[in-house]
Structure 1
Amino acid sequence: MQISVDKKAPIFVALDTPNLNKAITIANDIKSFVTGIKVGPIFFSKNSIDKVNKFSEMNLRVFVDNKIHDLESIVLKSVASLNSECIDYYTIHTANGLKTLSKAKEVCVGMSRPIKLLGVTVLTSFDDSNLKEIGIKNKMEEQIKQLASLAQESKLDGVICDGKNIKSVKNVFKGELFVPGVRLNRDKMHDQNPSRSITPKEALDHGATFLVCGREITEGNPRENIQKIINSLK
Structure 2
Amino acid sequence: MTHSPVIVALDYPTAEGALDLARRLDPADCRLKVGKELYTRAGPALLAQLHTLGFDVFLDLKFHDIPNTVSRAVSVAADLGVWMVNVHASCGRRAMTQAADTLAQFSAPPELIAVTVLTSFSQAEFEEVHHGERLEERVSMLAALTQDCGLDGVVCSPHEVPRLRAERGLNFGLVTPGVRPVGSDAGDQTRIMTPEQAIAAGSSYLVIGRPITQASDPLQALHQINLTLGAD
TM-score (norm 2): 0.90
> What is the match of residue 137 of structure 1?
132
> What is the match of residue 155 of structure 1?
150
Matched, 1:118 2:113: yes
**Matching residue's letter, 1:224:** Q
2:220 is aligned, of 199, 205, 224, to: 224
> What is the match of residue 203 of structure 2?
208
Matched, 1:188 2:185: yes
Deviation by residue 1:159-198 (Cα, 9 ceiling, x = unmatched): 11111110111123242111111111366111110xx211
Residue aligned with 1:216, SS: helix
Matched, 1:83 2:78: yes
Q: Does the CA contact (< 8 Å) of 1:148 and 1:172 recur in 2? A: no
Q: CA RMSD in A?
A: 1.9
Matched, 1:171 2:148: no
**Matching residue's letter, 1:46:** R
More helix by share: 2
> What is the match of residue 40 of structure 2?
45
Q: Does the CA contact (< 8 Å) of 2:29 and 2:223 recur in 1? A: no
Q: Does the CA contact (< 8 Å) of 1:109 and 1:115 recur in 2? A: no
Q: Does the CA contact (< 8 Å) of 1:12 and 1:34 recur in 2? A: no
The 2-side partners of 1:171 and 1:7 are apart by 26
Residue aligned with 1:21, SS: helix
Deviation by residue 1:44-102 (Cα, 9 ceiling, x = unmatched): 12112242122222222110000111122221221222232521110100111112111
Q: Does the CA contact (< 8 Å) of 1:131 and 1:137 recur in 2? A: no
Structure 1 unaligned residues grouped into runs of 5+: 1-5
The 2-side partners of 1:98 and 1:121 are apart by 13
Residue aligned with 1:46, SS: helix
Of all paired residues, the percent bearing the same amino acid is 29
Matched, 1:106 2:72: no
The 1-side partners of 2:152 and 2:137 are apart by 21
CA 187–22 in structure 1, closer or farther in 2 if over 3 Å, else same: closer
After superposing on structure 2, the runs of 4+ consecutive aligned residues of structure 1 that deviate more than 3 Å are: none
The 1-side partners of 2:94 and 2:165 are apart by 22
**Matching residue's letter, 1:222:** P
**Matching residue's letter, 2:222:** I
> What is the match of residue 70 of structure 1?
65
Structure 2 unaligned residues grouped into runs of 5+: none
The 1-side partners of 2:94 and 2:85 are apart by 18
Q: CA deviation at 1:131?
A: 1.6
The 2-side partners of 1:187 and 1:92 are apart by 29
The 1-side partners of 2:107 and 2:117 are apart by 31
